[in-house]
């Protein structure tokens, strides 16, 4: 695949029908519940890229699932379950931001055990934060139980999430229930275009991962000051013949004051964000990364676009 990355307009695929659905799904669940396994199962066979190095110790999982009728962007939301994050407000803020951008929240629970404090806390948070965004429950590890026991645990876990639109027993390991889960997710997603054409999926995945990684570092280090008004646009992502990846990104904020915060005193903050994002991307891609970051003020960008602007792609013009 060629890596010409400059013309964003050509990235938009217009070969989708009026019934096509698409959107971003925030995947939530505590560690070990099976998020990686599930995302790999869903995305792995289809396009092979979740992160370029699957099955590593990476916590974050991102994946694009494409069928003729739908495209789903799965994104892990570390705020609700990553122990390395500061707890409290930070956690809520991350989750809020992930939920605000998501078109659907997929909650993974382990149906092989009774729900505990972690699940109760998660349920309270999601109840507070999901707003209009539909919530789907995946009751994972259903292969470990059967009969009455399975039913009892399924009921106990589901009962904590009365606001969920759908519930589905699945096994990420055997694949049981996964097609039904996907069908339910797709049904709840808005009508919309295919964001990434099939032949550009791996490039799109790299861009998506790069943008999300930079955004995560911003959220992590800017505390309260930068709420939800950050968008990261990967202007270009080029793989050079020598294997080096050149990534050029623009961080959009809504106000001058926010620009100052992201850049920091003497450029300290932006350096830190860049260095951490670069290190993480190098681990994921196994390549040398040059990451160029710039910060621009764009007032009210979130009023026009949601996912599109976040990913750096433009919506079709009115007359198209």
Residues that bind Mg ion (CB under 5 A): 35-36
Q: Considering the complex, state which of residue 47 and residue 82 has its C-beta at the smaller distance from ligand GDP.
A: 82
Per-residue string for binding with ligand GDP, 5-24, x by CB under 6 A? --------------------
Judged by CB under 6 A, does residue 35 bind ligand GDP? Answer: yes
CA dihedral 302→126→110→213, nearest 10 degrees, is 30
| SS3 label, residue 32 | coil
Least distance in angstroms from the C-beta of 32 to ligand GDP: 4
Contact assessment for residue 270 and residue 222, using Cβ atoms and an 8 Å cutoff: no
Q: Give yes or no for residue 316 binding ligand GDP (CB under 6 A).
A: no
- Sheet containing 166-169: order of strands: 62-66, 70-76, 21-28, 104-110, 135-140, 166-169
Whole-number minimum distance, CB 11 to Mg ion, in Å? 29
C-alpha to C-alpha distance for 232 and 309, rounded to whole angstroms: 8
Nearer to Mg ion, 35 or 167 (CB): 35
97, interface contact from ligand GDP, Mg ion, none, CB < 5-8 Å by kind: none
- 171 counts as binding ligand GDP under rule CB under 6 A: yes
**Vertex 213, ends 210 and 215: CA angle to 5°?**
110
Q: Which stretch binds ligand GDP (CB under 6 A): 83-91, 136-144, 192-200, 312-320?
A: 136-144
Q: Based on CB atoms, which residue is closest to ligand GDP, 105 or 293?
A: 105
According to CB under 6 A, which one of 21, 60, 125, 141 is a site residue for ligand GDP?
A: 141
Q: Which is nearer to ligand GDP, 123 or 258 (CB)?
A: 123
- Report if residue 37 touches ligand GDP, rule: CB under 6 A: yes
Number of residues lying near ligand GDP (CB under 6 A) = 15
Minimum Å distance from CB 170 to ligand GDP? Answer: 7
> Can you tell me the distance from the alpha carbon of 44 to that of 151, in angstroms, rounded to the nearest whole number?
30
Any contact of residue 273 with ligand GDP (CB under 6 A)?
Answer: no
Residue 69, both tokens: 């009728």
User: What does 55-109 look like in DSSP terms, one character per residue?
Assistant: TSS----EEEEE-SSEEEEEEE-GGGT-TTS--THHHHHHHHHHHHH-SEEEEEE
Shortest CB 41 distance to ligand GDP, Å: 9
Q: Which listed option, ligand GDP, Mg ion, none, makes contact with residue 77 (CB within 5 to 8 Å by class)? A: none
Residues making contact with ligand GDP (CB under 6 A): 29, 31-37, 140-141, 143-144, 171-173
């Amino acid at each position: 695949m060629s890596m010409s990355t400059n013309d964003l307009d050509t990235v938009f695929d217009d070969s989708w029908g009026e019934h096509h659905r698409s959107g971003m799904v925030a995947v939530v669940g505590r560690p070990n519940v099976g998020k990686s396994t599930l995302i790999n199962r869903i995305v792995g066979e289809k396009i092979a890229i979740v992160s370029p190095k699957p099955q590593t110790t990476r916590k974050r999982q991102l994946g694009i699932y494409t069928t003729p009728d739908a495209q789903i962007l799965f994104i892990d939301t570390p705020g609700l379950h990553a122990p390395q994050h500061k707890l409290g407000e930070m956690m809520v803020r991350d989750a809020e931001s992930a939920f605000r951008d998501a078109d659907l929240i997929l909650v993974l629970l382990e149906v092989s055990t009774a729900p505990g404090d972690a699940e109760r806390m998660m349920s309270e948070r999601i109840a507070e934060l999901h707003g209009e965004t539909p919530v789907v429950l995946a009751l994972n590890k259903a292969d470990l139980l059967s009969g009455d026991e399975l039913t009892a645990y399924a009921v106990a876990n589901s009962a904590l999430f009365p606001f969920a639109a759908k519930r589905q027993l699945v096994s990420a390991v055997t694949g049981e229930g996964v097609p039904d889960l996907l069908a339910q997710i797709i049904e709840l997603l808005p009508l919309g275009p295919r964001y990434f054409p099939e032949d550009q999926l791996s490039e799109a995945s790299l861009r998506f991962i790069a943008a999300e990684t930079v955004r995560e570092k911003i959220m992590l280090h800017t505390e309260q000051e930068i709420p939800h008004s950050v968008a990261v646009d990967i202007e270009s992502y080029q793989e050079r013949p020598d294997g080096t990846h050149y990534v050029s990104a623009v961080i959009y904020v809504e106000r001058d004051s926010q620009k100052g915060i992201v850049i920091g005193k003497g450029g300290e903050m932006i350096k830190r964000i860049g260095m951490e994002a670069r290190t993480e991307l190098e681990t994921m891609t196994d390549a040398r990364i040059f990451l160029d970051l710039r910060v621009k003020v764009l007032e009210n960008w979130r009023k026009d676009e949601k996912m599109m602007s976040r990913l750096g792609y433009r919506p079709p013009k009115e007359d198209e």
